[in-house]
Every structure is written in C-alpha cells, then in structure tokens.
A and B are shown apart, each in its own frame.
Chain A
Amino acid sequence: MSEWLARLSEFAAMGGDGAHVWSAYGITLAAMLWNIWSAGRRHRRSLERAGRDGSVGAERPARTPKVRQVQ
C-alpha cells in the first residue's frame, strides 16, 4: 500500500514540474467543462423562454415576400 502511495506521489510530482503540468491540464479541463455547462444552460433557458412565449399563444408572424410584383 505504501509503495503504491509512493508511486502515486511520484507521479503527481512529475519530477518536480507537477505544479506546471497539473495547472495546465486543470485550466484546459475547466475550459472544457465551462463550454459544456454554458451551452447546456443556454439551451435550457432558450427552451424555457420558448415555452413561456408559446404558452400565451405567440407565433412568429409569417414572412412578407420582398419580391416586387412585375407589372
């Protein structure tokens, strides 16, 4: 057990560069998680808003064609 812990500790130390290596990986992991979380939150909020808007019977007005009529 103690040998295993020693090996784990050695791995975490990364030959004295542990602070550099793990902080770099930590920043990248944080960016990944932020991207996943923020996209999910925005999607959820958009659907919630669409649900609220839809509940009062709002519907996007039909587009008016921008083509001029030929005489």
Chain B
Amino acid sequence: MKLPVWFHRFGSPPYVYGLAGRLGPWLGAAAGVLLAVGAVWGLAVAPPDYLQGEVYRIIYIHPQTAYVGMLAYVVLAVAAGIGYIWRLKLAHAVAVAAAPIGASFTFCALATGAIWGAPTWGTFWEWGDPRIMFELLLLFLFLGYLALRAAFEERDKADRVSAILGVVGVVNVPIIHYSVIWWNTLHQGPTVSRLDSPAMTLDMLIPFLIMVLAFTLLFAWLLLNRLRAEIVEREMGARWVRQLVAEAGA
C-alpha cells in the first residue's frame, strides 16, 4: 500500500515545526474564547444545583482536567508506541511533549477533586476510592515517564526505554474510566456519557460541553507549543534550525 505524500510530511521536523507554529495561535485563540464563555456561563449563568448548591460549579473544570490528563496519556502512549515500532523520532517528541501537560492536569484533577470532596463527601481524600487511586497512579506514571527519561543521557535510549513504560501504562486509562462502574466508589457513575438520559439539565450541560471542547483545544495548543520546543532541542545543529535562528535574529 502506498501512503500519500502528505502523510510522509508528518515525519519531517521542519514541516511539523512550521505547521505547529501556524496552527498554534488559532487553537490558542479558540481555546481562550471557549474557556471564557464556558467559565462565565458555568460560574454566573448556570443555576445552582438543588443538592450541592454553588460548590457543584467545580464540575466545569474538574472532569475536564481529568479528561485532559487521560487524553494526554493516550497521546503519549500512541506516540511512544509509534516511535518505538517505526523508530520515528518525531513520535517520541510528541510523547515527551504530552507528559508534562498530562502531569499538570492530572494534578489539577486530584487537587480540584479534593477541594470538591471536602464539602460534599466530608473528606479531602479517600484512600479506598478506586478512581482517586488510579488517577493518582496516572500522575505517578507521568512523573515516572519523565524521571525515567531524565535518567538517560543518550536521547535515543531514553526514547526507547521510556516508550515501553508509556505503552504499558496506558492500561490504566480505561481502568480510571470504568472504575465507577466496576467498583463501589464515592464517585458518582457516568453523568454525561449516558446519552439516553444525561443526569444534567441542558442549562448545566451546555457550559459543561463547552468547557470539554475548550480544554481539548487548550491541550492541542499546549502540545504544539511544547512540541516546537522539543523539535528544536532534537534538531539542534540542523541547517534548518540555524536558518530559523538566523531569520529570527535578522
């Protein structure tokens, strides 16, 4: 099977660097607008919850940060797998770029969940809750991936060894998602994914979905930003990078 030319271009660092530079501002602007709309709608327009009152408004950031953490890990694992199998250096660069974003948003999910848990569950933290534990494991996987990379001086070796951890760790993502169905937890069951009868009214659901879209675009933008830095790091000394620097300096 012959692959189209545009597909091969995604293996070229200068092409991807340029594409990321062109797409980035659009993604960032769209994410910014949607974040502003979603936050104002969620904080000021959506009605208070009949049971939780105003504190439920954390729902407009907590599930989204957890989702971005899982999305980042899936991107990391797929990219690391492609890099490992086909020895595509750009794929490893994508995996490396996704890791700190995923770690920071997973930390946010744990922190905002703890803050939400205090008034609603009566505790910041529950060691026996499977979803919290597997989310914590996700944070450790991100940190472990970054620490493992830092342990190797040779980049190629760091790419290959960390890719194994990245791919193996992806099994944690479906466990996090289904943990509320498989085990009894303090967390509620699926709310939005029950498309036949979502457990949210429309005036709460719309800003929720806007924030999901906003966080997805934000992740894409942040990933491209980090990817550009990672590409320059890896292509240090290449003629196109020197030209880029010369043009920037001119």
A26-48 CB contact bits vs B (8 Å, 1 = yes)?
A: 01100110111011101100110
Q: Pick the contact of B119 from A17, A32, A36 — CB < 8 Å?
A: A17
Q: Is the CB of B58 within 8 A of A35?
A: no
A7-19 CB contact bits vs B (8 Å, 1 = yes)?
A: 0000100111100
Q: Is the CB of A39 within 8 A of B229?
A: yes
Q: How large is the interface on B (under 10, 10 to 19, 20 to 34, 35 or more residues)?
A: 35 or more
B5 at interface by CB-CB < 8 Å = no
Closest chain A residue to B24, Cβ basis: A39
Q: Is the CB of B229 within 8 A of A46?
A: yes
Q: Is the CB of B229 within 8 A of A42?
A: yes
Q: Which residues of B contact A38 (CB under 8 A)?
A: 100
Complex: A3 Cα to B116 Cα, angstroms: 30
Given A27-B112, A36-B225, A39-B229: A14 and B55 interface contact (C-beta under 8 Å): yes
Given A42-B226, A50-B241, A58-B237: A24 and B111 interface contact (C-beta under 8 Å): yes
Complex: A61 Cα to B62 Cα, angstroms: 48
Q: Is the CB of B100 within 8 A of A35?
A: yes
B31-61 CB contact bits vs A (8 Å, 1 = yes)?
A: 0000000010001100010000111011001
Q: Is the CB of B246 within 8 A of A54?
A: yes
Majority DSSP secondary structure for residues of A touching B: helix
B249 at interface by CB-CB < 8 Å = yes
Task: State how many angstroms separate the Cβ of A34 from the closest Cβ of chain B.
Answer: 6
Q: Is the CB of A20 within 8 A of B116?
A: yes
In B233-250, the 8 Å CB interface with A consists of 233, 235-239, 241-242, 244-246, 248-249
Task: State how many angstroms separate the Cβ of A48 from the closest Cβ of chain B.
Answer: 8
Q: Is the CB of B61 within 8 A of A25?
A: yes
In B45-92, the 8 Å CB interface with A consists of 48, 53-55, 57-58, 61-62, 65
Q: Is the CB of B222 within 8 A of A53?
A: no
Given A17-B119, A28-B112, A43-B229: A50 and B58 interface contact (C-beta under 8 Å): no
Q: Is the CB of B245 within 8 A of A51?
A: yes
Complex: A34 Cα to B222 Cα, angstroms: 10
Of the A-B pairs whose beta carbons lie under 8 Å apart in the complex, a sample of 18, sorted by A's number, is A15-B55, A16-B53, A20-B58, A21-B55, A25-B58, A28-B108, A31-B65, A35-B100, A38-B100, A39-B226, A39-B229, A42-B233, A46-B236, A47-B244, A47-B245, A51-B245, A59-B237, A60-B238
Which A residues fall within an 8 A CB radius of B? 11, 14-17, 20-21, 23-25, 27-28, 31-32, 34-36, 38-40, 42-43, 46-47, 49-51, 53-54, 58-60
Extra A-B contacts (15), CB below 8 Å, given A20-B116, A46-B236, A54-B241 = A11-B43, A14-B55, A17-B53, A20-B115, A24-B116, A27-B108, A35-B226, A36-B225, A39-B222, A40-B225, A47-B232, A58-B237, A59-B239, A59-B242, A60-B237
